[in-house]
A and B are shown apart, each in its own frame.
Chain A
């Protein structure tokens, strides 16, 4: 066998993958054995040389604060962008609807004429909005183990939320599921969800560490021990969970 190349010797030294035959050869070949020893010596010297470049440890509190400030700045920017996107979309949709309604009502015999002129509504048929095809096909979510000290779930709506439900769970896990396009972050005992509207499902442990839910900066519920305080707009409530009226 010919002598080992420098890459194979480095691999042997660093216990990376190398053919079995390479290891056997290094043991029996004086030249390659010597090269392996030299590679080890060099690694030791380089390690020592790099240690001289050590600097004072970074200020951890300052680093943490700067990271938090960057995250907050980006979240605020994203929320502003989301709000602009939706206001633009809703404005255009409203304009299209007005024009279409006007056009259709001008037609003789159009039922829209009747709707527009109806003096009072006879009755309501409430139909719960089902998930859209896109929501059915793709939702995303996050699950985090509730840390000691509890967790806050903060929801920021980038678009209109159709349905917001909280389900009590026997797991020590907080989960948020929302339509695809939603974004989730976790740190410092809080989960933040920037949800793209639609249906949002939050799962919270029914016991254990404290949990709370806020939507667009408004407290919706907080559980500390067995005490549950619900401050959000409740649509329905059972032992299994709470359905909030949409924000």
Chain B
């Protein structure tokens, strides 16, 4: 008999280990906290719904890849994305001392602008790399050859650094 029995992952365990990181990743990707939570939740539901199983690293990569694709679907049209960013500006985080808060706000704006200046694919590559993914995992999620990731990442980093530097006070 051709029988498939799989050891499934426990959604609660996956949630505890990956939900916060996934929300953070999508928030960086979109600049929108509400959208980030919505997409992270949808990725979790799909993980459960599609009976994804495997190692913890594999499940994590699957979640981020799914979330990346969900973001792409949501922001397929760039103008929609810009409009959403306008509607949901990045909110300040925790209260801070006035000077530090100002500095932090400027740095935050510069980082956001730098991310927004990147093409979607480069932004995904950069954020996945800085979330700790290997080139192979990034290649699978973004849909490029693993051998291209280093070059694409280096260019994305250069572009990001240029925009951040341009935004810094002289």
A136 to chain B, nearest CB (A): 6
Q: Point out the residue from A18, A55, A137, A186 that lies within 8 Å of B93, measured CB to CB.
A: A55
- Judge whether B70 is part of the interface by a CB distance below 8 angstroms: no
The CA of A70 and the CA of B11, in the complex, are separated in Å by 13
The residue of chain A having its C-beta at the shortest distance from the C-beta of B19 within the complex is A63
Q: Mark B1-26, 1 if CB is under 8 A from A, else 0.
A: 11111111111100100011001100
Chain B residues whose CB sits within 8 angstroms of the CB of A45 once the complex forms: 161, 164
Query: By CB atoms of chain B within 10 A, which of A16, A45, A145, A147 has the most?
Result: A16
- Judge whether A239 is part of the interface by a CB distance below 8 angstroms: no
Q: Is B9 within 8 A of A177, CB to CB?
A: no
- Judge whether A90 is part of the interface by a CB distance below 8 angstroms: no
Main secondary structure on A side of the interface with B: mixed
The residue of chain B having its C-beta at the shortest distance from the C-beta of A184 within the complex is B51
Q: Mark A1-29, 1 if CB is under 8 A from B, else 0.
A: 00001111111001011100000000000
Q: Which of under 10, 10 to 19, 20 to 34, or 35 or more describes the interface residues of B?
A: 35 or more
Instruction: Evaluate whether A140 and B28 lie within 8 angstroms (CB atoms) in the complex, with A7-B148, A56-B94, A147-B10 already known.
Output: no
Chain A residues whose CB sits within 8 angstroms of the CB of B44 once the complex forms: 67
The CA of A170 and the CA of B151, in the complex, are separated in Å by 54
Q: Is B154 within 8 A of A7, CB to CB?
A: yes
Instruction: Evaluate whether A50 and B5 lie within 8 angstroms (CB atoms) in the complex, with A63-B19, A187-B11 already known.
Output: no
- Judge whether A57 is part of the interface by a CB distance below 8 angstroms: yes
User: Which residues of B, 18-49, contact A by the 8 Å Cβ criterion?
Assistant: 19-20, 23-24, 27-28, 33, 36-37, 40-42, 44-45, 48-49
Q: Point out the residue from A39, A140, A177, A185 that lies within 8 Å of B48, measured CB to CB.
A: A185
The CA of A139 and the CA of B55, in the complex, are separated in Å by 23
The segment out of B59-67, B75-83, B109-117 that lies at the interface is B109-117
Q: Is A55 within 8 A of B5, CB to CB?
A: no
- Judge whether A89 is part of the interface by a CB distance below 8 angstroms: no
- Judge whether A76 is part of the interface by a CB distance below 8 angstroms: no
Instruction: Evaluate whether A10 and B5 lie within 8 angstroms (CB atoms) in the complex, with A46-B160, A49-B107 already known.
Output: no
Instruction: Evaluate whether A64 and B15 lie within 8 angstroms (CB atoms) in the complex, with A140-B4, A184-B51, A186-B8 already known.
Output: yes
Q: Mark A33-75, 1 if CB is under 8 A from B, else 0.
A: 0000001001101110110111111101001101100110010
Q: Is B51 within 8 A of A185, CB to CB?
A: yes
- Judge whether B153 is part of the interface by a CB distance below 8 angstroms: yes
A residues apposed to B, CB below 8 Å: 5-11, 14, 16-18, 39, 42-43, 45-47, 49-50, 52-58, 60, 63-64, 66-67, 70-71, 74, 136-145, 147, 175, 177, 183-188, 191
B residues apposed to A, CB below 8 Å: 1-12, 15, 19-20, 23-24, 27-28, 33, 36-37, 40-42, 44-45, 48-49, 51, 90-91, 93-94, 104, 107-108, 110-112, 114-115, 126-127, 129-130, 134-135, 147-155, 157-158, 160-161, 164
| CB<8 Å pairs between A and B, sample of 27 | A5-B151, A6-B158, A7-B149, A9-B150, A9-B154, A10-B157, A18-B150, A39-B154, A42-B161, A47-B130, A49-B111, A49-B114, A50-B127, A52-B104, A53-B28, A53-B111, A53-B115, A56-B93, A70-B45, A71-B49, A137-B2, A138-B3, A140-B5, A142-B6, A187-B11, A187-B48, A191-B8
Query: Given A10-B151, A16-B150, A142-B7, list of 8 further CB < 8 A pairs?
Result: A16-B134, A49-B107, A49-B164, A71-B45, A140-B4, A142-B51, A143-B5, A191-B8
